[in-house]
Structure 1
Amino acid sequence: MTALSRRTALMIGLSAAAAVGMPHVARAATRRLRFGVASVPGSTTHRYAATFARAAAELSGGSVVVDVYPNAQLGDELQMLKAVGDGSLDVTAMTPGPASRHSKEVGLCELPYLFDSVASARLAFDQQLGRHCADLLQAKGFLTLSWGESGLRHFTANKPIRNPADLKGLKLRVPHSEPIRQTFQAMGASVESFSFAQLPEALRIGRFEAQENPINIIVSAGLNRFQSHLSLTGHIYTPLLVLFSPDVMDELSPAQQAALRKAGEAGSAASRDYAEASQRSDMSKLVAAGMTVIEDIDRRALREAAAAAIETLSAEFGTEALRRMRGLVA
């Protein structure tokens, strides 16, 4: 059976399971799965994975056991993505940037100021935007299990970042995401894509002067140890893309597959709830630890500067891809 037909059969099996309900699976052969994530415990990514593992065990009647490996134990995001692609890793969760190495258009999910609100972003990924990106990745051999949430990205540095002028010449670490890299490069920052697992040490030795991440990531990785200011720019909404090996999924029973789909929904809800809660509670932790929070942001200037970078992104991704991505959000 070809890879394409395996994936087609998988989707038919999942649809049938959903139609008739999930049968009892306690007597099915136990399958142990490895779930690798780059983030540390305390992040929304790890919250997704931990919730997913518990739900998978419960919903499968114990026939699926998921072992979670946080903190890049199984490699960085690019390495784990490759492992899922060749079937040596079962499942991973990451931001869209690394996945765009296989389908460039998926990276446009992280366009600055693409969404009007967190609520609209969640709706888009649950509906047409999420389905479109899943189709693009399925064609490249990856099964999108569900969409979770990393959160709104903000800048940290040893000075306030209120407007584009504050970014000029700043040594800025960004993830493996071309839209993010090119946007802030166009604003005048000295930008480099760099592994998250090595970021704390890179900040400590001064390789970077600034970085940008959701607040839960800043706290869980202790980035405030090296940065004095948090600027609440909220410039990008970053989802979690949870990718499963189609070949591994094809080896599971229809009931186990359905259980994993339901577990994915539980993981998504947990990551979103945690991201929302941490936006408040974790910011309080940062303030208590001595970090200065900057709220008077010139968002209009940042939006305009981000829009000015679209011409550069059009050359990289194509005008039609940009138009299509914005249309899927509307």
Structure 2
Amino acid sequence: MNRLVSILGAGLMALSLTTPTWAADVTLKLGHIAVPDHPYGKGADQFAKLVAEKSGGSIEVKVFPSSQLGGQKDLIEGMVFGAVDMALVGTAVLGQFQPQISIFDLPFLFNDRQHAYKSLDTVGMELGKELEGRGIKLLGYMENGIRHVTNNVRPIKEPADMDGLKIRVMTNKIFVEMMKSLGASPTPMAFSELYSAMQQGAVDGQENPSAHIFTKRFYEVQKYASKTAHAYSPEPIIISMISWSKLNDEQKAIIEEAAKEAIDWQRQVSEDQDNKYWEQIIATGKMEVIDVDRAKFKEATAPVIEMFAKTVGQDNIDKINALAE
């Protein structure tokens, strides 16, 4: 009898070692353009971790960073047609599908991060509802960061220093007009092409948060960074309505709860990392970091807000202004 028990025990142990783990009931592909170490790259991974924990492994989110599933426009179009389940994208690109959501790209819109968070979690979520009719559901807003200008020609300390510089921008009318208002020559270009464009001199500079400046090693091909803080850059986390419709109520609740928790976690990571990135950029010794008189830049770009007030809704601008402390 003891021998039989030993044989059965050994057999069960062998079976447990060779039997594959059960696959998740649902697998969702989530794409973004950042490197995994970027704050919202970390946010995507945190979201995937939370979904796995809350679902007991029955829902798996596979994260594809670094433009593996395409650029931001590719990701959004893929979601509309069901080829991509989820994505993190900028409002500058998402605004091509819902123009009012471009409000968050306006220059000097927020007083500080807390003002941005309150606005995104209220006005931003309301505006996001209109995306559902276009095949996309907004789950909330992570953070890309606060945007600054870099270039390889001369130090930028005031708007006049930007005169004639070729500055790469996203394919977004607000950013194009913003750069024009500062005297620069805006050059729309995919993010994946930016490093080589700066390296080869096709553009003189670009504008992005410190996280991209450091993690994408822009300091290798840019001499000057000016802390203009001209715009705040949220990073919406979105899901295809095709994918969403395949989930049951319990699964939807898990996705929404995980997204909310991941957003709170990621925003804190992004804020904590911001100063560290500037310290690391300075430590390379390759890029001069310059403080500017932001009031002059705010004054120069003020007409851009008036120019797009009708597109984004003056009432939405008023609501955001009312949330400032």
TM-score (norm 2): 0.88
Please state if 1:248 is matched with 2:243.
yes
Moved more, 203-212 or 273-282: 273-282
Q: Which runs of 5 or more structure 1 residues have no equivalent in the other structure?
A: 1-26
Aligned length: 298
Deviation for aligned residue 1:131:
2.0
Task: Identify which of 172, 175, 178 aligns with 1:183.
Answer: 178
1:50 corresponds to which residue?
A: 45
Deviation for aligned residue 1:98:
1.1
Contact 2:168/2:205 (CA < 8 Å) preserved in 1? yes
- SS of the residue corresponding to residue 177 of structure 2 reads helix
1:111 corresponds to which residue?
A: 106
Whole-Å Cα distance in 1 between the matches of residues 40 and 315 of structure 2?
Answer: 28
Please state if 1:203 is matched with 2:198.
yes
Please state if 1:328 is matched with 2:319.
yes
Contact 2:174/2:304 (CA < 8 Å) preserved in 1? no
Task: Identify which of 146, 171, 187 aligns with 1:192.
Answer: 187
Whole-Å Cα distance in 2 between the matches of residues 311 and 112 of structure 1?
Answer: 11
Contact 2:107/2:305 (CA < 8 Å) preserved in 1? no
Please state if 1:155 is matched with 2:146.
no
2:25 corresponds to which residue?
A: 30
Contact 1:39/1:197 (CA < 8 Å) preserved in 2? no
Task: Identify which of 258, 261, 271 aligns with 2:256.
Answer: 261
Deviation for aligned residue 1:28:
11
Distance 1:65 1:231, change over 3 A: same
Distance 1:322 1:61, change over 3 A: same
- SS of the residue corresponding to residue 124 of structure 1 reads helix
Task: Identify which of 290, 294, 303 aligns with 1:294.
Answer: 290
Contact 1:93/1:241 (CA < 8 Å) preserved in 2? yes
1:138 corresponds to which residue?
A: 132
2:73 corresponds to which residue?
A: 78
- SS of the residue corresponding to residue 237 of structure 1 reads strand
Deviation for aligned residue 1:48:
1.5
Whole-Å Cα distance in 2 between the matches of residues 311 and 268 of structure 1?
Answer: 31
Whole-Å Cα distance in 1 between the matches of residues 74 and 294 of structure 2?
Answer: 35
Contact 2:125/2:140 (CA < 8 Å) preserved in 1? no
Task: Identify which of 155, 163, 166 aligns with 1:168.
Answer: 163
Q: Determine what percentage of the aligned residue pairs are the same residue.
A: 29
Whole-Å Cα distance in 2 between the matches of residues 257 and 310 of structure 1?
Answer: 37
1:8 corresponds to which residue?
A: none
- SS of the residue corresponding to residue 68 of structure 2 reads coil
Q: Which runs of 5 or more structure 2 residues have no equivalent in the other structure?
A: 1-21
